[in-house]
Amino acid sequence: MHPALLISIVLLAALASALLLSRCFGARNRVCCLMYHRLLPAALYEKLQGTERLFTVPAEEFETQVCELVRQGYRFVTPEQIIDFAEGRETLPDKSVLITFDDGCVSVYQLALPILERHGACGTIFMTTDSHSAIFPESDTTQRRMTEEEMRDAVSRGLSVGSHSVSHRPLRGLADEEIRHELAESKRVLETITGREVCAFAVPGNWYDARVLRIAREVGYRGLWWSNPGWVRPAGTALGLPRIHIEGHYNLRQFRHALSRIGVFQRALLSWIKWLPGRILGPRFWSPIRRVILSVVPGGYISLGRLTVAGLLLVGLIVFLIILAFAQR
């Protein structure tokens, strides 16, 4: 490899890391959105395998986490407040949190809602409207989609509803008209069921591109959440709001770490590294590979020590390649 190319890569990597560091450690006002999917009683959670251990949270652990947020003085806010904050129209204290649940599984209604009610908290469900979507396995009735009646009851008890598309297909692989249908039809269906405006959208599987953002704005969404880790800051736009994924195996210490500056930085760094193969391979090839990687290396293994070792190894490799390139000249 040409030395100039290597030096450019090193400079680019350094610039990207500096940007990431400034975003995670900058002193500006910031609030957080947490991302959950499904809940199960702890005894059933122990029987789960593979990636389900990341995307399902034991109900008892979820209650401990909500208690911890209350203990730390967090204020629970709505998607509309986050949108206004991101667009610079509303100020929020740093300890503001939006709890979100993707997909719309019945376990959120049965297990999470009573916990939120007990602790004076609120949250948002991002619903996939097709109850036959592959995200709701027919063999597992504990994770079926919420019924319309359950949705209306959840809304009357303080949960708000946003859209998570019609079918949960990766939007980035679809034609413009299909994306428009996924966004507009789910919005229409949810507004009919709840009788309220649906202005928030969460991207299924984090498969988005510029077209998804543009069409979301065109069909009337004011806020779009993705799964990129980070904090929400007053950035002038609410179409591209980051969230912190709370993985099912987290204990209380890991939960606190996930909310810390260093915890968010670690996840932002990892997602930046993971972004590239997804862009190159596309959803069809990258999704199954990602599933295997996630089942082997869940986030619990990502400690600061291991990341430091990995970083040092990477720097060593780059230095070695530079020396090699110069030696060959």
Binding site for Zn ion (CB under 5 A): 102-103, 204
Least distance in angstroms from the C-beta of 285 to Zn ion: 20
Q: Are 198 and 161 in contact (CB under 8 A)?
A: yes
Residue 4 or 138: the one with the smaller Cβ distance to Zn ion is 138
**Residue 24 or 213 having the CB closest to Zn ion:** 213
Asked whether 259 and 32 are in contact (CB, 8 A), the reply is: yes
Among all residues, whose Cβ is closest to Zn ion?
A: 102
Give the residue with the Cβ less far from Zn ion, 103 or 130. Answer: 103
**Residue with token string 């990477």:** 314
Tell me how far, at minimum, the Cβ of 262 lies from Zn ion, in Å: 27
Question: Regarding beta strands 96-103 and 200-202, do their DSSP bridges make them parallel or antiparallel, or are they unpaired?
Answer: unpaired
User: What does DSSP say about strands 239-241 and 223-225: parallel, antiparallel, or unpaired?
Assistant: parallel
Q: How far is the CB of 65 from Zn ion (least distance, A)?
A: 20
Distances (CA, A) of 133 to 37, 137, 166, 258: 15, 8, 8, 30
CB-wise, 63 or 103, nearer to Zn ion?
Answer: 103
209 SS3 class: coil
Cβ proximity to Zn ion: between 204 and 230 the closer is 204
Least distance to Zn ion, CB of residue 163, Å: 11
Comparing CB distances to Zn ion, the nearer of 61 and 102 is: 102
CB burial of 36-74 (b: ≥16 within 10 Å; e: otherwise) equals: bbbbbeeeebeebeebbbbbbbbbbbbbebbeebeeeeb
Reduced to 3 states, what is the DSSP secondary structure of residue 223? strand
Task: Say which amino acid occupies 63.
Answer: E
Decide: 187 and 198 in contact? Cβ < 8 Å.
yes
Instruction: Output 163 or 194, the one with its CB closest to Zn ion.
Output: 163
What is the number of helices (H) and of strands (E) in the chain? 13, 11
Q: Which is nearer to Zn ion, 84 or 103 (CB)?
A: 103
Residue with tokens 């959440």: 225
Q: Residue 37 CB, nearest distance to Zn ion (Å)?
A: 7
278 Cβ contact list (under 8 Å, min separation 6): 286, 290
CB of 108 to Zn ion, least distance (A): 12
CB of 204 to Zn ion, least distance (A): 5
CB of 23 to Zn ion, least distance (A): 25
